[in-house]
Amino acid sequence: MKVAYLGPQGSFSEEAAFRYFSKHDKWHMCDSIVDVLEAVEEGKADKGIVPIENSIEGTINITADGLLRYDLFVEAEIIFPVSLHLLTLKGASLQEITEVWSIVPALAQCRDFMREAKVKSRQFDSTSAAAQAVKNQERKDVAAIASKYAAEVFDLQITKSDIQDNSNNHTRFVVISKKNSGQNHNTKTMLLISPTEDYSGVLSSILNVFTALSINLTWIESRPTKKQLGTYHFFVEAQNGLHEEKMNKAITILKAFGHDVRVLGSYNTIKL
């Protein structure tokens, strides 16, 4: 089986992929989330894994828009803890560091450390790209904010651990495939609801269906239809499997109201 994931080498996405899938699988590293989705859509990969939400930064819109565009299914969600560390060349000390490199969200999530250390920052395309740059430039006065996994990949030293402001930082990944796995006894279902008519209170009427059936929603996200200002598609994740009667009843009622309802997947949650 070939698995597509978001690179570069040493990224959180690569680590999540390697920890979830078998080491015997074949790997297809991609440059962007869109590339991952396209690889699965076009049959270049059997499955893909992409980030869809971060507990601090919120929904990753590129992934949501990709699920709108491509005919793909979610077969699992993975909750991945994000710990950020200060990586340096081996032998470097914290006192030597004058500049810290990383991706913008990682720098933002370590604002307290940056302020206390009184260091400059430099933006990179990814945490792993920053770690690789520290390794390649062989400078003891710079450090990267990245993962423990990146430290292992690039043979760097963790000079200070867990420097993120919020210790409860997680990223949610989804595993996607071209075919609906059709598993039984799943605990979640993701729907894409597209109202066929725009009217006042349309979202409220949709949510009332789930309330009436005592269905708990764990994620709601709106994305523009790109057809007319103020019109949206709605992603809804329910804490019920597709095999449950009330979940199917909700879909039936929503369709009866004239909404287009697409099942994006029914799946379980895996915590790494």
pLDDT tens-digit readout, 97-114: 999 999 888 998 899 999
Q: What is the mean pLDDT of residues 141-167?
A: 95
Whole-number Cα distances in Å, 99 to 35, 118, 125: 32, 9, 16
Give kind and range of the element (H or E) at residue 227: none
pLDDT in tens, 155-166: 999 999 999 998
pLDDT of residue 228: 75
* pLDDT > 70 fraction of the chain, expressed in percent and rounded: 99
Which range among 59-68, 82-91, 131-140, 223-232 shows the weakest confidence by mean pLDDT?
Answer: 223-232
Cβ-Cβ contacts under 8 Å for 4 (sequence gap 6 or more): 28, 29, 30, 35, 36, 39, 40, 44, 45, 47, 48, 49
Cβ-Cβ contacts under 8 Å for 262 (sequence gap 6 or more): 191, 192, 193, 194
Cα–chain center distance at 112: 24
- Residue 25: which pLDDT band, with cuts at 50, 70 and 90? confident
- Residue 208: which pLDDT band, with cuts at 50, 70 and 90? very high
pLDDT of residue 113: 94
Comparing 54 with 173, the larger pLDDT belongs to 173
**Closest-CA residue to 99 (of 119, 114, 85):** 119
- First-to-last alpha carbon distance for the chain, in angstroms, is 21
Strand order in the sheet with 188-195: 217-224, 232-238, 188-195, 259-267
Q: Are 157 and 89 in contact (CB under 8 A)?
A: yes
pLDDT of residue 214: 96
Cβ-Cβ contacts under 8 Å for 69 (sequence gap 6 or more): 37
pLDDT of residue 183: 63
Q: Distance between CA atoms of 28 and 45, rounded to whole angstroms? A: 7
Q: Is the pLDDT of residue 231 over 70?
A: yes
**Closest-CA residue to 145 (of 172, 120, 163):** 163
Comparing 228 with 118, the larger pLDDT belongs to 118
pLDDT of residue 199: 76
pLDDT in tens, 168-205: 889 999 999 998 766 678 899 999 999 988 777 889 99
Which range among 63-77, 136-150, 167-181, 252-266 shows the weakest confidence by mean pLDDT?
Answer: 167-181
pLDDT of residue 215: 97
Peptide bond into 8 cis (omega under 30): yes
State the SS3 of 74-114. EEEEEEEECCCEEEECCCCCHHHCCEEEECHHHHHHCHHHH
- Residue 38: which pLDDT band, with cuts at 50, 70 and 90? very high
User: How many contiguous H segments (helices) and E segments (strands) does the chain have?
Assistant: 9, 16
Q: Distance between CA atoms of 90 and 112, rounded to whole angstroms? A: 24
Q: Are 10 and 34 in contact (CB under 8 A)?
A: no
For 63, list phi and psi in degrees, rounded to 5.
-70, -45
Q: What is the mean pLDDT of residues 262-266?
A: 94
In the block, tokens 């690889």 appear at: 39
Q: What is the mean pLDDT of residues 55-63?
A: 88
